Amino acid sequence: MTVTNHTALYRFTFPDASNGTNTTLSPLILADLTDLPNSRMNGSVSVNDTTGRISGSGTFAPSFGIGSYDLHFCADFQGASVRGTGVFMNNRAGTEPKNLSVVVDGINSGVETLPAGAWTRFNKPSNSSSGILARVGISFISVDQACSNARNEIPDFDFQGVRNAATQAWADHLGVIDITPGAGVNSSLQTVFWSGVYRASISPQDYTGENPLWNSSEPYYDSYYCIWDSFRSIHSLITILDPVSQTRMIRSLIDIYRHEGWLPDCRMSLCKGFTQGGSNADIVIADFFVKARRIADGVDWATAYEAVVKDSEDEPENWSVQGRGGLHSWKNLHYIPTDDYDPYGVGPFTRSISRTVEYAYDDFTIAEMAAGLGNMADAQKYYERATYWKSALSLLNTTVHC
């Protein structure tokens, strides 16, 4: 298999012989309406009896958050003529009808999702070495856009050409780094290093043009997975290796705030991910502000600052997916108590020490932005809050006498 931005290209090869029952080879390809965690709620699929095209949609749950998302696909084939088509449900299949819809029935909820989808059967491939090519486009917008993505990105089913282009794209991206062998930099260490840089470049992902939630001329990135980890590693690295992409990610974070009212602490599949404690998009934005503000193109820093200040000042109703909880205690006690009394919002009333430390660092980064923007009153205020972690430390060192 190989890929472009929105399309996968698969090449299936088969034994060039009969199957042992004097029947000629007849490959069968199935498309199951499922995802890796088997979270499908609703789905639909159809198959074209002439071309063998399989297309459809599904509604799925995010892997670490709330809500749901729709994903659409479009699969076309090349390399063999179509022998038959149909749909399947559970372990039964038929040639009629040519479309299928599945829904959560409300009675068997919690029961394992049944397999369901469509199939295309082919005559023996004309060239056993090249086999059958399957081009699968995806889209968060519609089936039509999934088909259009596939057609535009891989018009001619050129497997080797697509593979070469993908290889070159990664070579260009990783090529900004040079390693000088020797002095302990052996081949094993280089393998680990390049593997790490590759994985650090997979997310966040550019979904610009594929956001059904709002219309915007700004970039849209997804799979901020999750900022409470990535602020200290991936984003700092991307800022150095690929500041253009990091600029677009910052603009995307700000646009999410514009349309949803809060910066994410985690986000995937168009859904709000869970927070871990702080509001750590503040750190990603401030880190880029102090390091690359002069070269950042098109970043609305005024709105960015508005967004990070909101994280520190306003408590959302559900701070398990955005913002911070316990802000009344934070501002008045200067730490987050265990079993905090917080009637202003709902979230996991745990991790009091780690939340205290995270809030302090988040406020420090806001202070850095305030100072850089010339707002010295705010800078002094948030530098002071950045020292609140000492309050928790002093409590740990206090001896209680009964």
| pLDDT tens digits along 186-224 | 889 899 999 999 999 999 999 999 999 999 999 999 999
* pLDDT number for residue 117: 97
Burial of 402 (0-12, 13-18, 19+ CB in 10 A): exposed
Q: Is the pLDDT of residue 115 over 60?
A: yes
Q: What is the DSSP string of 59-112?
A: EE--SSEES-EEEEEEEEEESS-EEEEEEEETTEEESS-SEEEE---SSSTTSP
Mean pLDDT in residue range 91-117: 82
Q: Is the pLDDT of residue 351 over 80?
A: yes
Gap between the Cα atoms of 11 and 157, Å rounded = 10
Gap between the Cα atoms of 188 and 170, Å rounded = 20
DSSP code at position 229: H
Mean pLDDT in residue range 308-334: 97
Q: Is the pLDDT of residue 390 over 50?
A: yes
- In the predicted model, what is the mean pLDDT of the chain? 92
* pLDDT number for residue 102: 92
Gap between the Cα atoms of 319 and 11, Å rounded = 46
For the question of whether the overall pTM of this predicted structure is more than 0.85, the answer is yes
Mean pLDDT in residue range 36-56: 95
* pLDDT number for residue 183: 74
* pLDDT number for residue 377: 98
Q: Which residues, at least 6 apart from 189, have a Cβ–Cβ distance to it below 8 Å?
A: none
Q: Is the pLDDT of residue 68 over 60?
A: yes
Q: Is the pLDDT of residue 393 over 80?
A: no
Q: Is the pLDDT of residue 110 over 60?
A: no
Gap between the Cα atoms of 223 and 368, Å rounded = 27
Within 10 angstroms of residue 370's Cβ, the number of other Cβ atoms is 22
**Structural domains for the chain:** 2-172 (2.70.98.10), 194-396 (1.20.1050.60)
More confident residue, 291 or 19: 291
Q: Of all residues in the chain, what percent carry a pLDDT higher than 90?
A: 80
Q: Is the pLDDT of residue 307 over 70?
A: yes
Pairing of strands 116-122, 221-222: unpaired
* pLDDT number for residue 22: 41
Q: Which residues, at least 6 apart from 334, have a Cβ–Cβ distance to it below 8 Å?
A: 388, 391
pLDDT bucket at 111, cuts 50 / 70 / 90: low
Which of 96-110, 334-348, 350-364, 387-401 has the weakest average pLDDT?
387-401
Q: Is the pLDDT of residue 10 over 50?
A: yes
